[in-house]
Structure 1
Amino acid sequence: MNDAATPIPHHALDAEATLVAFDTGRGGLSQDEALRRLDQHGPNRLPEPPKRSPVLRFLRHFHNVLIYVLIAAAIVTAVLGHFIDTAVILVVVIANAVIGFIQEGRAEQAMAAIRDMLAPHTSVLRDGERRTVDSADVVVGDIVLLEAGEKVPADLRLFETKGLLVQEAILTGESLPVEKSTAAAAANAPLGDRTAMAFSGTLVAAGTGRGVVVATGPATEIGRISGMLSSVETLTTPLVQQMDRFSRWLTVLILLIAAILLAFGYFLEHFAFADMFMIVVGLSVAAIPEGLPAVLTITLAVGVQAMARRNAIVRRLPAIETLGAVSVICTDKTGTLTRNEMMVASVVTAGDAFMVEGEGYAPEGAIRRGETVVDAGENQALREIARAAALCNDAVLNGENGNWTIQGDPMEGALLALARKIGGDTPSPRAEWRRVDEISFDARHRYMATLDRNTHGTTLASAKGAPERILAMCATQRRPDGGSEALDEHAWNEAAEAIAAKGQRVLAIATRTMADGHAALGHADLEGKLVLVGLVGLIDPPRPEAIAAVVQCHEAGIRVKMITGDHAGTAAAIGRQIGLQNPDRVLTGTDLDMMDDAALSNAVAETDIFARTSPEHKLRLVTALQSRGLTVAMTGDGVNDAPALKRADAGIAMGLKGSEAAKEAAELVLADDNFASIVAAVREGRTVYDNIKKVISWTLPTNAGEALTIIVALLLGMALPVTAIQILWINLVTSITLGIALAFEPTEENTMRRPPRPRGESLLSAGLTWHIVLVSLLFLAGVFGIYAYAIDQGHSDVLARTMAVNTIVVLEIFHLFFIRNLYGTSLTWAAVRGTKMVWATVLGVTAAQFAFTYVPFMQDAFGTVAVSPLDGILIVGIGIVFFAVIEVEKQLRLALLAGKA
């Protein structure tokens, strides 16, 4: 029974050979032997992952260079006695750790969700008798009995099937249930083509079957995916990477400057060490953007709310801005680009071909011959197809509040919808006809037939099945006028091939009027005696909104790639319908197996459709795209998508039809399962990143300008234009408040017309570096200019410093209005009008600054005096000149970049 002794895979072995290999028989194991094997191999459940200490998980979130800098800043501000600053910094540090702690552990949750998918109970043969046992007690060699509606408890090699259909979408992505048989498949057959196997966690849609258990627990296909999920490396997001690099370099820069200035002042200028240390502390407080993590977190939180309004639920904050960098979306087909509902799209009768319109199972939609809408009720052949489709059918179509669902086989549900479209308001054939007998579908004869009698005593046989099988049973075909004529088998075969070429699954429908009183239906009643009525082509139709979404992705420079477990022809047909850029080039899982990583990396650049893929293939494809420097979003809904969802830069799971495993492995969940929502989420992601960039582009130059005033004054031996406590006031009043306003900025007009930003793009780009230098120099000129003016006018040092502090705040406000438009002009009415949040913060800072300048106890605390109205107007005038200079520079820079493009 040792599997290792048999190198041939189970699906390629004869059923009897499998029974022998596992030392069992068709009557099952004895109870004693089953218990012995359970003790030897362990229960049929997936292993739980090792859990880390919650304390260590929490403390790990403090292991970050920028956090160290913030903690140091908190200590410094506490030493200075500025406990409000200390409290703000510590709240930011602790909040970041709490958020990270809550969001961590997604891999453990994903595997727990997979474990929950296993069947709780199952029926087995023990000692030759049927018994119901806990699925965890199923062992290799057990004989499992499968029935419709049950979950398969373990991987089985089937040796008996009767009309057995298994829904394997969670493993293969194929939308239709798979017909199961007992015939062995090729050793290298893809997972979806191993028809003699039933896999753990899949659902029996119809029929019955028996099979021998060949794998349990982690050895099953679903267990193998769980193992893959635990070993998949989760990539950090671009924002986290960039902030990590930025924080390290910022720390080095601040410490280096502080050390140099401390040495300069102490050894060369001979300042007292304590005084020099306090100056360096003031410089550090000015240079460290301690409010930046808080503002970034708030910006991401605002993005979470905006995405939730667009049906995209964010499970991890940094994933929002990752969407803004996405350059490739790898999407599953079934349920993502398509509705995961079957629909009849084509009908062919003798001499006529029709196109059927509609959405999903809704029994509404026109039937066209070419461009002409036909009255289906006036067409004899279509009416007969509708009658046979409704009678030779076990599904039930339900409509509630405009939402149409089916109970039963998806193809039969689509046929019921077709019958309603053809029949219109006429009563369903089921109201007039009563089933007398039936031949259930079986993979051996590949058709289903029913015998029905109406209220007038007429008896009718209806059959549907594989075209080649039904054609072989027909002697004649139905003419458009309702008569019969000799069967043109060649023409029907060509018609079936034409439908299949569109990626549609083909069914043939035939009927025969039986003698009155005929009460039993056998194969002999049908062989060579049926009248072929027509062919129908069924497809899982694309979502109309997905077609528009793909167009928007292409306009935004985002490539869309379909990765599906479905057949190549079906995938290509859907690819053409939704507008993929290269729909005629399809690579299958077999093709991918023949490629090494280098060849695959080249292939993914040229191919947009990948069919018959396994979880390993999806994971390799995502990794190959990432190896090309691309930021990859992966969408999916099945267990088979979970490893790739976890590996992708942005994993996006379907919320309605997605498995819990997929949701837990993903960073985002689409509440409406709508591919179009991804485009909206990308737009929000780009907006969030733009706003983060605006926050940084506002914070760093203003902090640098503040620090530069201290550095220059110290190096030139001048009096400080602002004191350390006044620097702390500026940081407390403006750093977080004005920065927060940028978190609520709306989407800029050209956001979705820009190409995705490069994966490795630095937050501290050359353009931002130049902006920091320019603004710092202008700050320096403004502050020292107003300070020199005040001294020249005979004002006191206290008044000069008060005017300098107010100048810094005014410059920061004007800089805020400038930075709101990174990619366009700020000289528009919309830019001036701003947002409610901008004006709320500006008015709040202005009120605080008036209190700082004119309220007596604030004057005593911060060493300020009242400023005259004329001097106040001069300060505002400096802000206007500053705004004009940086706006002119931006327009020149944008014009230069546009000329190069």
Structure 2
Amino acid sequence: CLAMKAGIDPVELRVEHPRLQAIPFESEHRFMATAHARAGGHQVLLKGAPESVLVRCSHQLLRNGQVAPLDAQHWNAAVEAQARSGRRVLALARGQLGDGQALNHQTVSQGLTLLGLVGIIDPPRDEAIAAVAQCRAAGIRVKMITGDHGTTASAIAGQLGMGQALRAVTGPEIEAMDDEALRQAVQDTDVFARASPEHKLRLVQALQARGEVVAMTGDGVNDAPALKQADVGVAMGQKGTEAAKQAGAIVLADDNFASIAHAVEEGRTVYDNLRKTVVFLLPINGGESLSLLAAVVFGLALPILPAQILWVNMVSSVALAMVLAFEPTEPDVMKRAPRPPGEAMLSPFVIWRIVLVSTLFTLGIFGMFQWSLSTGESVEEARTMAVNTLVAMEVFYLFSVRYLKAPSFTGVGVQGTPLVLVAVAGVVVLQALFTYAPFMQTLFATRALSLQQLLMCAAAGVTVLVVLELEKAVLRQRH
């Protein structure tokens, strides 16, 4: 590309000066060299990291085409100036091979002439900057491990929003550290430059030794060991090599860091919805079980018959629980700290919520049943009241459990999503059939209820919602 910008036809150049020998790029040496046929011998062209090229040069090419002794201080300052602007810098040099001399590391170790520097700008994309900010807000530390110059890496890290005046730890410094020192370095440092494949692997291992869950991204053969070692290796699908794709656990189709942040958001949403489903179903079953247990212990009539429990579990509970799997992402999902890797689904908070809601459901079911009997209603009518109370509490509890800690008394919380409203409407219709359809009354021993009785059932559901909203408010104040 640079040759074409200068008006040089690369095809013609290859014909006039064909490549005869080559030293491929290796991260250990950080340069590549080629030998070409020229009048009077073979010319060597070399490009690579400035620090790897400058030590091989003894002279420099001036603007007038003359050759002068190398001014290393001038060129090092020029490299720093380019790097501070966030440019990746390549140094270009040339040399000569004698007759019968082979191109190898020894023949390009000294005596070359520096041609100049090339600064390559590759600014971070806007979505990458936003994704880094999103990850940092979510408690995810973003670290840059690159083969670039340390100053360039620090400048790009600043452009990404990782912080200003960041100091990059370089490959030679990593080599000088033992494992303990490196574990401290990965805790205090976010930018690592001039890193070789061995350095990248050690950095991942150091992070894991601190108990961190590490996701590593990479696209080259040099990244493969670290991708394999990481808890989640993410290979680039477009620019990535086959070695990187084979080593990674995930292949990113669009090579966009923002997709990783979005995947974290989706993963947290899935986990939240799974936990909501558990917190929804277990207290319902707990309330049913405790109400039956209380009746047996105290020698009272069962508030709900087995067939009625089967109806509730197979129809209303399942229908309402299913919609929780499709709940949208909560607004604060990417503002929470990551949960500990070993945290159980039944965390202390979840267990507390299950116990609290189970108790509320037991009181509602058993209390409504006993109250109905005390007013002179038949056992069948009292049981119908108990079942409708249970379903009403489920419906109102659904609106509460959609936000485990955030308030539900908001416009969105009360309205729910369209899927939630459809599920609630379906449950209301089915429960009306259960209560008033003659064939259902015969199957489940139910009786028709008055409007006042239905309002009593609904009041029990509202009470559950109010109590849980008060509990959420207390928890939010404590945290």
- Higher relative CO (Cα under 8 Å, sequence separation at least 6) belongs to 1
Aligned to 1:766: 348
Deviation at 1:815, TM superposition (A): 0.4
| Pair 1:660–1:832, CA change in 2 (3 A) | farther
Identity of aligned pairs, percent?
A: 48
Aligned to 2:395: 813
Aligned to 1:132: none
Q: Confirm or deny that 1:691 pairs with 2:273.
A: yes
Unpaired stretches in structure 1, ≥5 consecutive residues: 1-412, 420-427, 452-460, 479-483, 511-530
Q: 1:745 aligns with which of 327, 330, 347?
A: 327
Q: Confirm or deny that 1:552 pairs with 2:138.
A: no
Equivalent position amino acid for 1:538 in 2 = I
Deviation at 1:664, TM superposition (A): 5.1
Aligned to 2:254: 672
Contact 2:151–2:168 (Cα < 8 Å) also in 1: no
Contact 2:89–2:117 (Cα < 8 Å) also in 1: no
1:210-249 residue CA offsets vs partner (Å, 9 max, x unmatched): xxxxxxxxxxxxxxxxxxxxxxxxxxxxxxxxxxxxxxxx
Equivalent position amino acid for 2:178 in 1 = M
Deviation at 1:658, TM superposition (A): 2.9
SS of the equivalent of 2:215 reads strand
The residue correspondences of 1:143-158 to structure 2 (distance < 5 A) are none
1:832-868 residue CA offsets vs partner (Å, 9 max, x unmatched): 1211211121122222212222223322222222222
| Pair 1:765–1:591, CA change in 2 (3 A) | same
* Equivalent-residue separation in structure 1 for 2:136 and 2:115 (angstroms): 44
| Pair 1:633–1:737, CA change in 2 (3 A) | farther
| Pair 1:808–1:584, CA change in 2 (3 A) | same
Aligned to 1:835: 417
The residue correspondences of 1:618-629 to structure 2 (distance < 5 A) are 618-629=200-211
Aligned to 2:437: 855
The residue correspondences of 1:527-546 to structure 2 (distance < 5 A) are 535-538=117-120, 542-546=124-128
The residue correspondences of 1:139-538 to structure 2 (distance < 5 A) are 413=1, 415-416=2-3, 418-419=5-6, 428=7, 430=9, 437-438=16-17, 440=19, 472=59, 474=61, 476-478=62-64, 490=71, 493-498=75-80, 501-502=83-84, 504-508=88-92, 535-538=117-120
Contact 1:467–1:508 (Cα < 8 Å) also in 2: no
* Equivalent-residue separation in structure 2 for 1:611 and 1:495 (angstroms): 18
Contact 2:140–2:338 (Cα < 8 Å) also in 1: yes
* Equivalent-residue separation in structure 2 for 1:473 and 1:628 (angstroms): 48
Deviation at 1:640, TM superposition (A): 5.0
The residue correspondences of 1:123-138 to structure 2 (distance < 5 A) are none
SS of the equivalent of 1:784 reads helix
Equivalent position amino acid for 2:365 in 1 = V
Equivalent position amino acid for 2:63 in 1 = Q
Equivalent position amino acid for 1:814 in 2 = F
What's the C-alpha RMSD, in Å, of the aligned pairs?
3.9
1:172-218 residue CA offsets vs partner (Å, 9 max, x unmatched): xxxxxxxxxxxxxxxxxxxxxxxxxxxxxxxxxxxxxxxxxxxxxxx
Contact 2:144–2:192 (Cα < 8 Å) also in 1: yes
Equivalent position amino acid for 2:171 in 1 = T
Contact 1:637–1:653 (Cα < 8 Å) also in 2: yes
Contact 2:139–2:336 (Cα < 8 Å) also in 1: yes
Q: Confirm or deny that 1:682 pairs with 2:264.
A: yes
Q: Confirm or deny that 1:588 pairs with 2:167.
A: no
Equivalent position amino acid for 2:217 in 1 = T
Deviation at 1:450, TM superposition (A): 9.7
Contact 1:447–1:469 (Cα < 8 Å) also in 2: no
Deviation at 1:612, TM superposition (A): 5.5
| Pair 1:486–1:638, CA change in 2 (3 A) | closer
1:367-394 residue CA offsets vs partner (Å, 9 max, x unmatched): xxxxxxxxxxxxxxxxxxxxxxxxxxxx
Aligned to 1:823: 405
Equivalent position amino acid for 2:422 in 1 = A
Deviation at 1:506, TM superposition (A): 3.0
* Equivalent-residue separation in structure 2 for 1:614 and 1:634 (angstroms): 15
* Equivalent-residue separation in structure 1 for 2:80 and 2:196 (angstroms): 28
TM-score w.r.t. length of structure 1: 0.44
Aligned to 2:188: 606
Contact 1:853–1:867 (Cα < 8 Å) also in 2: yes
Deviation at 1:801, TM superposition (A): 0.9
* Equivalent-residue separation in structure 1 for 2:400 and 2:33 (angstroms): 71
Equivalent position amino acid for 2:437 in 1 = V
SS of the equivalent of 1:752 reads helix
* Equivalent-residue separation in structure 1 for 2:16 and 2:324 (angstroms): 72
* Equivalent-residue separation in structure 1 for 2:174 and 2:22 (angstroms): 29
Deviation at 1:725, TM superposition (A): 2.0
| Pair 1:446–1:757, CA change in 2 (3 A) | closer
Aligned to 2:337: 755
Aligned to 2:102: none
* Equivalent-residue separation in structure 2 for 1:679 and 1:506 (angstroms): 32
TM-score w.r.t. length of structure 2: 0.78
Contact 1:449–1:464 (Cα < 8 Å) also in 2: no
Contact 2:291–2:362 (Cα < 8 Å) also in 1: yes
Deviation at 1:779, TM superposition (A): 1.1
Deviation at 1:564, TM superposition (A): 4.2
Aligned to 1:799: 381
* Equivalent-residue separation in structure 1 for 2:251 and 2:276 (angstroms): 27
* Equivalent-residue separation in structure 2 for 1:439 and 1:499 (angstroms): 35
| Pair 1:816–1:635, CA change in 2 (3 A) | same
Deviation at 1:762, TM superposition (A): 3.0
* Equivalent-residue separation in structure 2 for 1:613 and 1:436 (angstroms): 37
| Pair 1:638–1:708, CA change in 2 (3 A) | farther
* Equivalent-residue separation in structure 2 for 1:436 and 1:767 (angstroms): 73
